[in-house]
Amino acid sequence: MNPILKAIDVRKSYGSFEALKGIDLEINRGEVLCLIGPSGSGKSTFLRCINQLEIINGGALWINGELVGYRRVGQKLYELSEREIARQRLATGMVFQRFNLFPHKTALQNVIEGPAQVLKVERRQAEAAGRELLDRVGLAQKCDAYPIELSGGQQQRVAIARALAMKPALMLFDEPTSALDPELVGEVLAVMRDLARSGMTMVVVTHELGFAREVANRVLFMDHGLVVESGPPEQILGSPTHARTREFISAVLS
Amino acid sequence: MLLEVGEQLVKADQRGHADDLSQFEHVRRKHIGRYFAAAVVLVMALWIIRAFAHGQIEWSVSWQYLTARTVLFGLGNTVLLAVLAMLLGIVLGVIVAIMRFSASPIINWAALAYVWLFRGVPSLLQLLLWFNLALVFPTIGIPGLFEWRTVDLMTPFFAALLGLGINQGAYTSEVVRAGLLSVEDGQYEAASAIGMHRLQALRRIILPQAMRVILPPIGNEFIGMVKWTSLASVIQFSEVMYASESIYYVNNRVIELLFVAAFWYLIVVTVLSFLQGRLERYFARGAGRASQSR
Ligand SMILES: Nc1ncnc2c1ncn2[C@@H]1O[C@H](COP(=O)(O)OP(=O)(O)O)[C@@H](O)[C@H]1O
Ligand SMILES: [Mg+2]
């Protein structure tokens, strides 16, 4: 079976600073991958490269076997147009650390914006699907609430529903619980756990090692733009081989 | 003041009462300064009204011309010109503001040049230039296919519309740019992440949020525009100012007719202010308590 995501030697620089120094990775359908690592190690940058919020400077990415950002004809790579990039983005859903809900739209409107505007789904149908999704994240009662009227945990759950509404093949989470008050973290992780159980392919950047241990098939430790080590959660979180991984884990747990 | 209340409470407690403010007689604070200021304002207002009432103004003449055909026709023209020129200004302003965010230096530069030029030259002068465009371009069109004589096209109305609208666009573009800058990057990224392309994100996500910042200054400029239309009287466009002038040239009732024009400007501006408030409330949806409670 083809991997959903394949990355070969992905590099990204900002000016002379190398944020990613060559990432190799394959993710298979239904796999849940947790990315851990110290702040500034390039985790967000890698996610943003996957859905083309950043353009990579080297290496290559494939989603569902399709080259990301370029079309190859013979020995030439043609940059994709803005519309083609927008179409490629449909394969991934993104959940941001700061939610980024549309403040001028209600929870339901946030969720159906993509289906209605981008996928051109008929309005009534989009609404029904939207209500179902909000129900799935436990917010059936909050369809008509504006983001400002919701708690952080509720906003993040709407954001998850909004991403799911596009029926992505791969869900990307960038520290989805880092901006939340501690008592609200659980409700968001619970939704993500359900999602993982339902078979969704997920890449999750997180400091919640308990979640990683329980839900991830594989944990990846990144530092300074490189993958230091990766493997099953018991191994990486339980008996890491690298000193830097050990230091990081004990720092997070303390 | 607070101390007094405190002492009273202590005393009340000593007398065995509960600490409840409602059992005391409340003595309101005296605002002597405010009474004095109000008196001064009232006297001045009365004095001004008296001056106008007893001045050499025949109010009956103003009243008579208030709804004269020429005046009402002028009023209609004023409103039409103001609305169309403002629309042109807003459309140009939005386009130019978006051009300012372009990655292409040439597009960016063109937008800057437009703002520089039309903001830098007085509106009156621009109006006259458009009106006299025929001196530079005798004909307009594609030679051989279709051509018009510029003097036929550049009616006073069209010249005024172009002059005011294009000038307005230069100002509006800066207002719109400020509005676009006020929306956080995360909104654009979230829109991209659900597969929207640039224009879709702008129209559905970014601009509606920017409107909250854009509307108050635009309302302000719309009101300015209503009054700028009076410049069009210089090129014989019969808006309300020109209408009043054309009447007082004949009957010499200058101040009476100026009041007629002033009255109508005030009415139009009042209606606009009201509409602006309604629009602002609409675009404030979901934007927090401070902006909703109005
Ligand atoms: N737009 C940018 N311009 C310059 N440097 C950036 C930019 N975005 C990220 N970086 C740098 O790239 C490195 C990796 O950042 P990031 O991927 O956000 O780290 P993480 O998510 O692991 O905390 C950091 O050192 C950060 O300062
Ligand atoms: Mg990050």
- Across the A:B interface, residue pairs with CB atoms under 8 Å apart total 76
User: How sure is the predictor about B153, in pLDDT bands with cuts at 50, 70 and 90?
Assistant: confident
Tell me what the pLDDT averaged over chain B comes to: 88
pLDDT at B188: 96
Q: Where are the beta strands (DSSP E) in chain B?
A: 139-142, 146-149
Q: How far apart are CA A116 and CA A127, in angstroms?
A: 9
Protein residues whose CB sits closer than 6 Å to any atom of ligand 1: A 14, 17, 19, 37, 39-45
Does B201 lie at the interface with A, CB-CB under 8 angstroms?
Answer: no
Residue A153 CA: distances (Å) to CA of A156, A182, A207: 5, 10, 16
Say whether residue B50 is in contact with chain A using an 8 A CB cutoff: no
* Residue showing tokens 């995501």: A5
Q: If we measure between CA atoms, which residue out of B257, B272, B265, B271 comes closest to residue B66?
A: B257
CA-CA-CA-CA torsion for A162, A166, A167, A169, nearest 10 degrees?
A: -100
Whole-number Å distance, alpha carbon A212 to ligand 1 midpoint, is 23
* Axis-axis angle for helices B156-182, B123-131 (nearest 10): 140
Segment among B12-16, B19-23, B121-125 with least mean pLDDT: B12-16
Convert the pLDDT of each residue in B163-210 to its tens digit.
Answer: 999 999 999 999 999 999 999 999 999 999 999 999 999 999 999 999
Residue B11 clears pLDDT 60, i.e. is over it: no
**Taking a C-beta distance cutoff of 8 angstroms, is the pair A221, A227 a contact?**
yes
Name the strand (E) or helix (H) holding B106: helix B105-120
Top-confidence residue, B148 or A89: A89
Q: How far is CA B278 from the centre of its chain?
A: 14
Burial class (CB in 10 A: 0-12, 13-18, 19+), A144: exposed
Q: Which CATH superfamily is domain B66-293 in?
A: MetI-like (1.10.3720.10)
Percent of chain B residues topping a pLDDT of 70: 91
pLDDT tens, residue by residue, B98-135: 999 998 999 999 999 999 999 999 999 999 999 998 88
Burial of B26 (0-12, 13-18, 19+ CB in 10 A): exposed
Residue nearest to ligand 1 atom 25, measured at CA: A40
Instruction: State which H helix or E strand residue A229 sits in.
Output: strand A226-231
Q: Is A29 exposed, middle or buried (0-12, 13-18, 19+ CB in 10 A)?
A: middle
The reported pLDDT for the residue numbered B2 is 54
pLDDT at B293: 39
ipTM: 0.93
Cross-chain residue pair A163–B194, CB shorter than 8 Å? yes
* Closest CA relative to residue A61, chosen from A124, A3, A120, A129: A3
Could you identify the residue written with the tokens 């004589």?
Answer: B149
C-alpha B68 chain-centroid distance: 27
Mean pLDDT of the region B2-13? 56
Instruction: Please give the span between the terminal C-alpha atoms of chain B, in angstroms, as a whole number.
Output: 32
H/E stretch holding A44 reads helix A43-50
Written as six digits, the tokens of A238 are: 């339980």
Confidence of residue B292 (pLDDT cuts 50, 70, 90): very low
> Do B130 and B154 meet the contact criterion of CB atoms below 8 Å apart?
yes
* Closest CB from B186, B195, B196 relative to A100: B186
pLDDT on residue B28: 83
pLDDT tens digits, B24-50: 888 888 888 889 999 999 999 999 988
- Assess contact for B208 and A117: CB atoms under 8 A: no
Give chain A's end-to-end CA distance (angstroms, integer).
Answer: 41
How far apart are the CA of A40 and the centre of ligand 1, in A?
5
Name residues whose C-beta falls within 8 Å of residue B98's C-beta, 6 or more positions apart in sequence: B180, B202
B8 pLDDT higher than 80: no
Nearest to A134 by CA among A126, A197, A200, A198: A126
Q: pLDDT digit string (tens) for A159-171?
A: 999 999 999 999 9
Other Cβ atoms less than 10 A from the Cβ of B168: the count is 26
pLDDT digits (tens, 9 = 90+) for A103-148: 999 999 999 999 999 999 999 999 999 999 999 999 999 999 999 9
Interface of chain A against chain B, CB under 8 Å? 51, 53, 82-83, 86-87, 89-90, 92-94, 96, 98, 100-106, 113-114, 117-119, 146-148, 162-163, 165-166
Of residues B141 and A200, more confidence is placed in A200
Q: Which two tokens stand for residue A148?
A: 């400002």
Q: What are the residue ranges of CATH 1.10.3720.10 in chain B?
A: 66-293
Which residue has the CA at smallest separation from atom 12 of ligand 1?
A19
Cα separation, A117 vs A112, whole angstroms: 8
Distance from CA of A118 to the nearest CA of B (A): 6
Listed residue (A116, A52, A120) closest to A80, CA to CA: A52
